[in-house]
Amino acid sequence: MRLNKLLATALAASITLGLVACDSGVSNKPADGSKETQTEQKDAKKPDDNGGKKELNIDVILKTTASEYWGYVQAGALAYSKEHPEVKVNVVGASSETAFDEQLALIETDLASGKYDAFVMAPLQADMVASKIANVEKPVIAVDTKIDSPKVLSFVGTGNAAAGKLGGAEAVKAAKAAGWKEIKAICISGVQGDTTAADRMEGYKQGVEAEGGEFLAGETQYADAVADKAVACMEGIMQTHPEGISIIACNNDDIAMAAARAAKGNPKYEKTIFLGFDGIISACDAILKGDETMSVAQEGYSMGYKSVEAAVKAINGEKIEKFIDSGASIVTKANAADRKKTLEGYLNK
């Protein structure tokens, strides 16, 4: 009898505890937003949320996110993620193309975070970035600018020297058509020491000389990829060459547009060919208005897309090419409207 009473009491207590537990199902879990809760929520994801595919996290570190051109690279990278929901893409960049320490800090932070399966990097200082990634075990893809490191599996970008040569040659043809008898070219470059800027300048030189022009390498100006500095560079060129110069070959479109504005009103520079690089929307507008002559268009959107695609292939152990050429073309008044429409389509995806 006593035993029956004890059993009944134990059973009642067990039922009571069970009911309490049912009513307080989250009481023994950490508060929302804590690391553990976030992990639980992630682990609770259904297997078919990503079509049964494993989630991958790609970190894209650009030179800057504060320019139109880099906006296309970013749009391309994010477009890959949109088409492949299992691939999560994080895009960051420095505040300008001379914020070297800022970009290095971003790289250090992201490498140490342990959150990413692969990295896509557009270095401001390729040699410094090479040292930062020396011990990285995750796949690294260079975009836009090469990184001389065995850790880099592929470079996705424009063959800058070849593209520059194409632009230089076309600029000479345009200068001859504009009536220049003596073809001389001066380059307003970007950041001194930047490999991309150096490759473009070498390409311009080759293209100009191949068509019989003279490239004044000793008079190269450096504008740090900033329009305001390009104005000062152009003013200096006009003081040194009051007779006029047939070609001003610029590292990017912002520099070309700024240089053209600075020369506006100077009759000796009325027929000068202002050659830019990137082929961005604002350059298309400037070309259509006659404020920039032509641009070497590189495919920033394709660059961003293909770099993330290469990173995913590397994670999955697939073979990727050491150099993935995103292509280049020349934008003139004849095709600037079509180019603008294409770029607007990228941004509206």
Residue with tokens 């043809």: 173
Backbone angles phi, psi at 120, to 5 degrees: -115, 125
* Strands of 192-331, DSSP E: 214-215, 221-222, 247-250, 273-278, 294-298, 323-325, 328-331
Residue 264: is its pLDDT beyond 70?
yes
**Tens digits of residue pLDDT in 137-181:** 999 999 999 999 999 999 999 999 999 999 999 999 999 999 999
Q: What is the mean pLDDT of residues 55-68?
A: 97
**Tens digits of residue pLDDT in 273-288:** 999 999 999 999 999 9
Pairing of strands 328-331, 294-298: antiparallel
**Domain boundaries defined on the chain:** 56-158+300-318, 160-298
Which fold is adopted by the domain 160-298? Answer: Rossmann fold (3.40.50)
Domain 56-158+300-318, architecture per CATH? 3-Layer(aba) Sandwich (3.40)
By the 10 Å C-beta count (0-12 exposed, 13-18 middle, 19+ buried), 114 is classed as exposed
Residue type, 217: A
Residue 337: how many other CB atoms lie within 10 Å: 13
In the numeric block, which tokens belong to residue 293? 């002559």
**Tens digits of residue pLDDT in 75-115:** 999 999 999 999 999 999 999 999 999 999 999 999 999 99
From 2-16, 49-63, 142-156, the region with the lowest mean pLDDT: 2-16
In the numeric block, which tokens belong to residue 167? 């632009």
pLDDT of amino acid 51? 65
Same fold, 56-158+300-318 and 160-298: yes
Sign of CA dihedral 330, 331, 334, 337: positive
User: What is the rounded distance in angstroms from the CA atom of residue 188 to the CA atom of residue 224?
Assistant: 9
pLDDT of amino acid 37? 25
**Confidence band for 46, pLDDT divided at 50, 70 and 90:** very low
Residue 35: is its pLDDT beyond 80?
no
pLDDT of amino acid 348? 84
User: What is the rounded distance in angstroms from the CA atom of residue 315 to the CA atom of residue 140?
Assistant: 10
State pTM to two decimals. 0.79
User: What is the rounded distance in angstroms from the CA atom of residue 64 to the CA atom of residue 167?
Assistant: 25
Distance from chain centroid for Cα 114: 22
